[in-house]
Amino acid sequence: MAQYYSRRNLNFLLHEVFDAASLNKYPYFNAHDRETIDMTIDAVTQIGDNLMYPYLRDLDRNPPELHNGKMTVHPKVGDYLKAMGEAGLIGTSFSFEDGGQQLPETVSSCLGFIVMAANNGMMYTGLTSGAAGLINSFGTDELKQTYVANMLSGKWQGTMALTEPQAGSSLSDITSTAAPQTDGSYLVKGQKVFISAGDHDQCENIIHLMLARIEGAPKGTKGISLFVVPKYRLDGADNDVTSTGVYHKLGQRGVPAMHLTMGDRDDCRGWLVGEPHKGLSYMFQMMNEARIGVGMTGAAIASAAYCASVQYAKERPQSRRLNEKGALDSPQIPIIQHPDVKRMLLLQKAVVEGSLSLLLETARCVDIAHASEDPEEKEKYHLILELLTPIAKTYPTEMGLVAVSNGLQVLGGYGFTEDFPLEQYYRDIRITPIYEGTTGIQSQDLLGRKMTMKGGKPAQLLFAEVAKTIAEAETHEELKPYAQKLKAELGRLQEVTMALMPYAMQGDIERYLMDATLFMEMFGIIAVAWQWLKQGVVAKNALLTQQPEGDELAFYESKIHTMKFYFHYEVPKTLGLAVRLKDTEVLTIETEKELAL
Amino acid sequence: MAQYYSRRNLNFLLHEVFDAASLNKYPYFNAHDRETIDMTIDAVTQIGDNLMYPYLRDLDRNPPELHNGKMTVHPKVGDYLKAMGEAGLIGTSFSFEDGGQQLPETVSSCLGFIVMAANNGMMYTGLTSGAAGLINSFGTDELKQTYVANMLSGKWQGTMALTEPQAGSSLSDITSTAAPQTDGSYLVKGQKVFISAGDHDQCENIIHLMLARIEGAPKGTKGISLFVVPKYRLDGADNDVTSTGVYHKLGQRGVPAMHLTMGDRDDCRGWLVGEPHKGLSYMFQMMNEARIGVGMTGAAIASAAYCASVQYAKERPQSRRLNEKGALDSPQIPIIQHPDVKRMLLLQKAVVEGSLSLLLETARCVDIAHASEDPEEKEKYHLILELLTPIAKTYPTEMGLVAVSNGLQVLGGYGFTEDFPLEQYYRDIRITPIYEGTTGIQSQDLLGRKMTMKGGKPAQLLFAEVAKTIAEAETHEELKPYAQKLKAELGRLQEVTMALMPYAMQGDIERYLMDATLFMEMFGIIAVAWQWLKQGVVAKNALLTQQPEGDELAFYESKIHTMKFYFHYEVPKTLGLAVRLKDTEVLTIETEKELAL
């Protein structure tokens, strides 16, 4: 077991379960095969081992500092950016002509998993590729030529400048302004908060992808435009973007969350990306990848915590088997042999590997929706992607948090100390259910938008995929009971959906979405149950066809064991959730008389 | 709503639900009535308001430091100790002759709740009274006269020195030694770790209650003795207790967790408390109070987090009602009006007030078991206490953690910053499921010891009490459905117990306790459901008999509302837990072949 992720498990998911190389049947991906994929994974792992994981603590201990307008971050961030840029590992999914490697998102997202598991405090490159992606997709050739190459090289940092003090989850209330100038640029003015990597000294320029309103634009989300706002203009002149403040954070301390002021001196220039008033729709086209990225961060931190707690549990002797309490002359046993500790470790493994599987399933939809030339296939995977994205963002972050807390508990008092990394992972992962749309927002997206989209077609398409897995599993005696459990869960989920739909049809959206977060929790458990059954089928087939031995035998057996654990310990939680979701008692909607709290 | 706890709610529980003053029917408590109780609560609240809460941040930012053997802690700790000592608020439950106030534990534990809610980083006095209590209960008159008064005055700090590097949860493996000397003292030698308040500069002496083995003592728990080991001897001489190290912790940073070395120079003297080899049994007689104290800390931190998140939710405008999304001209609404936020607030309220209620129920058992002169009543409350203690330690800490995390989520990105106290509470509370026996240990105590004690008599006695509450609730139409829900839950719990018992009878303790932590979770949910129904009955009676208006009306209505919330959102979780607990699939017990993790 590595220090922060299991390569064997990544290979299992990437090659045995999702057969990433087979995506090269699509012309767009035909440059890649298993060898090129593995080489890329090797390269990123090397960076993780050498330039990231060794500085996990050090970045946390030495957070970014703002001194009279100048942001300094840990110097190792520069080494990381340089290495990633030189290896061409920023924006790997970009097309060749755009300076990328045309790598499937299925693979690119694994690279994100590895770097975030190695040191999630170095969350810089994902922001840059996201920002560059926006310019790529919607910017003029001039904007592309000006910015993209310098960003993918790691020289220029990219950011997403959305949130404003008065508009957190509510982007329709954005008030930053943009006034057109004769030279085609815009004079930009506004405040942005929580801008990750919003300023630092380990790059040559910061390129903000900023949302603002062009004077006279319509109210709400339909009046928001997207601009490129660099820290320095091309001639090197200061572009009037001020670092007003840096937040002191619970975790992920290696990357600054900035409060920025654009246009303090009325001299901040921005360049429009795409058409006016379409900024939010552009943002949302990037949002799927961004949300998968945050889900990956949750899975990654949980993976690193799992690795650390397994290692501790194998080495720490404590007490004796419960059936041999009296045997005081016998030595203490490693705590991994205690059922309660084994349970906490299996829970972590089930969450980490189940989450990663769900995320790769989702990334695969991105790839097929993008690369397929068959319109029907394209639409199918696009719709499944729309449905899975909020779940793939939420399950790994919410349950990742629970997994990390269990990892800390495995270490007892030592888990609470800075002698082990668990306490840091517990702090770091806490932001992930908030980033890129909180769990509440994701849940409203799932139930409010995705479940009702096209008369429920996305869910129909997804359930058909799940049914395929169930059918495969039923061919194995050992898996049959789990196939049947999953079938029952699908039925339960449909019942709940049917119970809620009438509220949507009556237009009582508030009532319909009242417990959306619980619906999300239930759907997430079932989606991951599907992933575990899928992994169980692949493992079972491997055991039957390859007759593996030694570590390989143990690996596949532990996959089936963990699948069983998930079904016996996690899946039953849907019973209580379904009861509540079908329950007609309304307790969280304001009546005229406000509840005293 | 106060900044860290609701006095109105404390009054409701203390006076209306548990009628603490009525304990003065027992001669031992006859000096107290509602007035003396309220005066004591006022006094502690004043200390909390003036000397504790204002320094919450400052203690966290300036943790204890160890410089060449000398421990310095935040100077405000001294002011706090002085004020508590002078007001006679350390060891309030001690008898008058022992220098206490002979206050019921029901009230004393509320004082602990208030100080821990105000600033849990000042966790010093509970340790002192616990240590002084051991000397009081089991020490010679000489030991009592020498130590107790100085400890209760706050001049001398007390500690519990149990844990050793190789013996965390497994006290039977303690190796510290004690060699009898001609003068009646013992020469003590050993290492102790995680000793809270194990050394600091805001007191005149540190009195360690230390577990060690007298030479030639039997192996295991039956060979452990208890000693008083002061930092300085009575003549002021250094007693060879070295501060070897201080742990850097995730939270509760105001109080140092020390690594101590006794007898580095072979000159550390200890004085035996009680009889040889009985040390652990003495410790366990103090353990109930200590575990209630940790449960209180969980409830207290969750209370402070709840207060902070409610305040934020009332003030923070964001977005519009889900049924009025389009109304962009209408102002944003305070987020407390969003159902998902209301749900997170109600969850916190349900956990905080349900936990506090369960803790007072448990403390009341301490009082009656102690003060009753009717042997049958005495035994009854002693047995219920034995059963409730591990639950009262675990539910408020495990669910308190969930509540605090929900509180942080209410604040979104701001919750992750140091601009608000939520991130600190999230760190602080994480130790509580570990202190004084981890959740795993508490769960083994509940299912392994307390459920089987005297043929299950403790559970029978408890269920009879629950039945009384159900009967009262059934007299109110509005509460009847909840009374029936609770009845059904009791049945479910009995089914689960019956399903597990055979393993215990066969002596397969490992299998019996395999999922003890899930049994604890289920029992905890039901125990708190009982407390909520109890509160519902009292609130309902108040509404009917007092016809309250204004804030009082709102208070009682919100009690019934929160009771309903708990039954509709939290209680259904037992369905999945029961399925797992009755499930025969064994997945966490080692087979001969170890599972690859």
Asked if residue A390 belongs to a domain, the reply is no
How many Cβ pairs closer than 8 A exist between chain A and B? 272
**Chain A residues closer than 8 Å to B588 by CB:** 339-340, 342-343, 346, 565
**Given an 8 Å threshold on Cβ–Cβ distance, is B342 in contact with A589?**
yes
Domain housing A512: 456-597
For residues B461 and B484, the answer to whether their CB atoms sit within 8 Å is no
Helix (H, G, I), strand (E, B) or coil at A441: helix
Letter string b/e over residues A24-34, b meaning 16 or more CB atoms within 10 A of that residue's CB: bebebbeebee
Instruction: Choose the catalytic residue: B353, B361, B386, B436.
Output: B436
Asked if residue A535 belongs to a domain, the reply is yes
**Whole-angstrom distance between the N-terminal and C-terminal Cα of chain A?**
48
Asked if residue A213 belongs to a domain, the reply is no
Low-confidence ranges of chain B (pLDDT < 50): 1
Per-residue pLDDT at A1? 44
Letter string b/e over residues B266-298, b meaning 16 or more CB atoms within 10 A of that residue's CB: eebbbbbbbebbbbbebbeebbbbbbbbbbbbb
Helix (H, G, I), strand (E, B) or coil at A285: helix
For residues A302 and A403, the answer to whether their CB atoms sit within 8 Å is yes
For residue B334, with 0-12 CB atoms within 10 Å meaning exposed, 13-18 middle and 19 or more buried, which class applies?
Answer: middle
Residue type, A322: L
Instruction: Choose the catalytic residue: A436, A472, A521, A570.
Output: A436
For residues A87 and A47, the answer to whether their CB atoms sit within 8 Å is yes
What are the backbone angles phi and psi of residue B245, rounded to the nearest 5°? -170, 160
Per-residue pLDDT at A173? 86
Q: Angle, to 10 degrees, between the axis of helix B105-119 and the axis of helix B34-47? A: 20
- pTM of the complete model: 0.97
Per-residue pLDDT at B328? 75
Asked if residue A586 belongs to a domain, the reply is yes
Residue B490 CA to residue B497 CA, distance in Å, equals 11
**Given an 8 Å threshold on Cβ–Cβ distance, is A418 in contact with B250?**
yes
**Given an 8 Å threshold on Cβ–Cβ distance, is A169 in contact with B412?**
yes
Radius of gyration of chain B (CA): 24
Per-residue pLDDT at B1? 44
Residue A471 CA to residue B241 CA, distance in Å, equals 68
Structure tokens at A229: 């706002």
Per-residue pLDDT at A59? 98
Asked if residue A591 belongs to a domain, the reply is yes
**Given an 8 Å threshold on Cβ–Cβ distance, is A590 in contact with B318?**
no
Successive 10-residue mean pLDDT values, chain A, 597 residues: 88 98 97 97 97 98 96 98 97 94 97 98 96 96 96 97 84 92 97 96 98 94 96 97 97 97 97 97 86 97 98 93 80 93 98 98 97 98 98 98 98 96 98 96 97 97 98 98 98 98 96 98 98 98 97 97 98 98 94 76
Asked if residue A500 belongs to a domain, the reply is yes
Asked if residue A65 belongs to a domain, the reply is no
Residue A524 CA to residue A358 CA, distance in Å, equals 9
Helix (H, G, I), strand (E, B) or coil at B194: strand
Nearest-CB residue to B568 (from A169, A194, A583)? A583
Per-residue pLDDT at B331? 87
Helix (H, G, I), strand (E, B) or coil at A104: coil
For residue A315, with 0-12 CB atoms within 10 Å meaning exposed, 13-18 middle and 19 or more buried, which class applies?
Answer: exposed
Number of domains composing chain B: 1
Residue B540 CA to residue A18 CA, distance in Å, equals 58
Whether ipTM exceeds 0.95: yes
Among the listed residues B356, B226, B369, the one whose alpha carbon sits nearest the alpha carbon of residue B284: B226
pLDDT tens, B277-332? 999 999 987 888 899 999 999 999 999 999 999 999 999 998 888 888 777 778 88
Whether residue A436 lies in the annotated active site: yes
Asked if residue B474 belongs to a domain, the reply is yes
Residue type, B427: R
What is A37-55 written as a DSSP string? HHHHHHHHHHHIIIIIGGG
For residues B11 and B312, the answer to whether their CB atoms sit within 8 Å is no
Nearest-CB residue to A597 (from B310, B321, B580)? B310
Residue B515 CA to residue B93 CA, distance in Å, equals 37
Among the listed residues A408, A399, A398, A402, the one whose alpha carbon sits nearest the alpha carbon of residue A305: A408
**Given an 8 Å threshold on Cβ–Cβ distance, is B250 in contact with A173?**
no
**Whole-angstrom distance between the N-terminal and C-terminal Cα of chain B?**
48
Q: How many helices (H) and strands (E) are present in chain A, helices listed first?
A: 18, 10
Structure tokens at B322: 């889900």
